Amino acid sequence: MSSTSRGSSRTTVSRSKATPSPSAAAATGSASGARPRPSDKLNPKTIDPFAEPQRSPSAFAAIYSKGGVPCRLVHGSVKHKLQWERLPETIQFDPVLVTLAEGLKETRHPYTFVSQEGFKELLMVPGAQQKALPLLPKLAVALKGALVHTDDGVFERGLNGLVQLSAVVGPSLNIHLKNLLTSLSKRLMDKRYKEQVTTALQKLEQYGGKFSQIGKLLLQKLQFRIRSVKSVLV
């Protein structure tokens, strides 16, 4: 073999040693990727302060995702509706109605619609009064949570739910009204909700019967407070 051939052969061998195969390069890359680099300590991962934080699911959302609320939202071309897994009149009010009342505090779709519509539809089934009466203490607590909420939509759903419940159970709700209606004082002083709250109080007085003067007295008290505040401002 000539010297030229031997030199060419040695050059080829040295190049093959210097250039690793694709598989070897991939293995080396994966190995190096698995090990933390010194620059990682200097440049740690940061959180975008403007990104929406990951919130853990609420109690209602967790129950809903596990099938604890036997209905689902059906999107329609004009409006949405609920589809119940079984006839609403066969559903146990305890705990479903209480769960729906607690869901009135939700602020995200579809939980807002499901809780509001589900609460209303269950109270419309035959025998709803007898089923709801034993649950009034729990329902009152859930509704109060919605009435004192800072979110306007939550407050409105809580107020509607309170009127709907009063229409079904009547005077039986009177014992709980004092704790519930005191939550309305700030909203009644807000001109955006004055008419809505006043109408709700009048309906509560109507449904509560002649033995219920709590709503009327509270309305008079709150109206007097509003006049007092206005006189101070003037």
Residues 204-224 pLDDT 10s: 888 987 545 555 666 566 555
Percent of the chain topping pLDDT 70: 65
**30 in a domain, yes or no?**
no
209 φ/ψ sector (left φ>0, alpha ψ -120 to 50, else beta): left
In a domain, 111, yes or no: yes
> 125 in a domain, yes or no?
yes
Residue 19 above 80 pLDDT? no
Residues 6+ apart with CB under 8 A from 91: 70, 84, 122, 125
pLDDT for residue 224: 59
Mean pLDDT for 128-151 is 97
Q: Is residue 216 part of a domain?
A: yes
Tokens of 26: 């991939």
Q: What is the DSSP string of 163-231?
A: HHHHHHHGGGGHHHHHHHHGGGHHHHTSTTTHHHHHHHHHHHHHHH-TT--HHHHHHHHHHHHHHHHHH
Residue 58 has a pLDDT of 87
Is 49's pLDDT higher than 80?
Answer: no
* Average pLDDT score, the chain: 78
Mean pLDDT of the 134-141 span: 97
**pLDDT confidence of residue 113:** 94
In terms of Cα–Cα distance, which of 90, 94, 96 is closest to 64?
A: 96
Whether 68 has a pLDDT exceeding 90, the answer reads yes
Backbone angles phi, psi at 8, to 5 degrees: -65, -40
With 0-12 / 13-18 / 19 or more C-beta atoms within 10 angstroms meaning exposed / middle / buried, residue 36 is exposed
Residue 60: per-residue pLDDT: 93
Region 19-23 average pLDDT: 52
Whole domain around residue 201: which residue ranges? 70-222
Task: Say if CB 224 and CB 204 are below 8 A apart.
Answer: no
Selected residue with higher pLDDT from 167 and 226: 167
Answer with the residue of higher pLDDT: 220 or 87.
87
Within 10 angstroms of residue 68's Cβ, the number of other Cβ atoms is 13
What is the model's pLDDT at position 177? 86
- Within a domain: 214: yes
Q: What is the mean pLDDT of residues 85-106?
A: 96
Domain count, the chain: 1
Q: Tell me if 29 is assigned to some domain.
A: no
| pLDDT of res. 38 | 54
Is 175 inside a domain boundary?
yes
Residue 198 CA: distances (Å) to CA of 25, 81, 203, 216: 76, 29, 9, 10
Confidence at 99, pLDDT banded by 50, 70, 90: very high
Residue 9 above 60 pLDDT?
A: no
86 in any annotated domain: yes
**Whole-angstrom distance, CA of residue 67 vs CA of residue 64:** 5
Distances, alpha carbon 183 to alpha carbons 31, 108, 147, in Å:
62, 23, 6
